[in-house]
Amino acid sequence: MHILQNYIKQSLSLIFLSIFLPLFSIASIVFLIKLATYTAVIQLSILEMGKLFLFMLPELLFYTLPISFFVAITLALFKLSNDNEIIVVFALGIHPRVILQTLFKPALFLSLLLLFNFFVLLPHAKTLSNNFLSYKKSEAKFNLSASEFGHKFGEWLLYIGKENKNESYADVILFNKNQDEEVLIGAKKAEIINDAGILRLKLSSGEGYSYSKEKFTQIDFETMFINDTMKTNLEKYETPLEYWFPDTHSAKKRKMLIANILFSLFPLLSLYLAATIGIVHARHQKGKIFLFLFTGIIIYYSLAIALQLVIFAYTLPVLITGWLIVTYTLYKKTIVAKF
């Protein structure tokens, strides 16, 4: 029995890798194309694109692992059937539930891993990714250059006379006008400083003028900071519970939470269906396995997404219970009854 279980697990692991690696590669290419679209708005180096890809890795794994596992289980059982090995197993008096018990542990491990991935790792990675993109977008607003035209710098109009080689600017003039007062600042040198996600302009050796109907003011300064002109909107959360259950109700996160729980449980809930599809009479059912395989995936994922729009949180018990009843009934009538 131990030899049989090891043989089934070995067959499963080989087929799983042959399915997961191409699927993961295709999904990675899609995500990389998505990353490339960001370069139309912000500048990203190869290292920064690699960092963003790492941030997206938990999401990539979350969507590719359960499908790869389900397909691998089904094809592994189909291979045993096609080689007539499954017939030999049943002829020796081994019940089909022994095969399911062998597959239960890797399915349970994968489901727990997916639950941890989406509930703990995904919020952290998504927050890091969003904050990084937000920072780069704010930084892109400071893509200043010397020209005869001015720049918009928050509430200021900015003119740059010359660019220096050390990423600083010379002969800088800023102008700000509101209803009561106008402010004009001139500086010999300016630098951009990032301070904890807040981009500031540091001015050196300049003069400032403030005038209104009542008064005129002039100051000379060695150093001046233009603060809080463009803040990077950073997301913050302390624990995964705070991310998934924020103080303000979020319908989007609620739907995502329900769907992700169901996607995480798919490897575990799909064992009966995998056995029903994969254990076949090779002569009669060769052409139908892939049709049933992808139909099962589409039905489960569609129900996980659609039902929550109607019955909300009740989707979890309804879909889990209903799916197990239906797939077990199919398994009992098509597999247990025959073998």
Residue 287's pLDDT is: 60
Hey, CA dihedral for 305, 310, 316, 318, is it positive or negative?
Answer: negative
Radius of gyration of the chain, Cα coordinates, nearest whole angstrom: 30
More confident residue, 227 or 171: 171
Could you tell me if 111 and 265 are in contact, meaning their C-beta atoms sit under 8 angstroms apart? yes
Q: What is the pLDDT of residues 31-52, one digit of tens each?
A: 888 888 887 667 788 898 899 9
What does the pLDDT read at residue 155?
Answer: 76
Q: Which of 153, 146, 216 is nearest to 183 (CA)?
A: 216
What pLDDT is attached to residue 319? 97
Q: What is the pLDDT of residue 297?
A: 96
Backbone angles phi, psi at 302, to 5 degrees: -65, -40
pTM for the model stands at 0.79
Would you mind telling me the total number of residues written for the chain in this entry? 339
Query: How confident is residue 196, by pLDDT bands cut at 50, 70 and 90?
Result: low
CA distance 84 to 96: 15
Structural contact between residues 235 and 224, judged by C-beta atoms closer than 8 angstroms = no
Q: What is the domain partition of the chain in residue ranges?
A: 2-139+237-336, 151-231
The per-residue pLDDT for range 203-249, each reduced to its tens digit, is 999 999 998 888 889 999 999 988 654 555 667 777 899 899 888 87
Residue 143 pLDDT greater than 60, yes or no: no
Most confident range (mean pLDDT) of 34-43, 161-170, 282-291, 315-324 is 315-324
pLDDT band, residue 104 (cuts 50/70/90): very high
Q: What percent of the chain has pLDDT over 70?
A: 88
- Kindly report the average pLDDT of the chain as a whole number: 87
- Cα separation, 49 vs 31, in Å, equals 11
Which token pair is 148?
A: 């005869």
Q: Is the dihedral of CA 47, 49, 51, 53 positive or negative?
A: negative
User: Read out DSSP for 266-325?
Assistant: HHHHTHHHHHHHHS--HHHHGGGHHHHHHHHHHHHHHHHHHTHHHHGGGHHHHHHHHHHH
> So what's the pLDDT on residue 231?
53
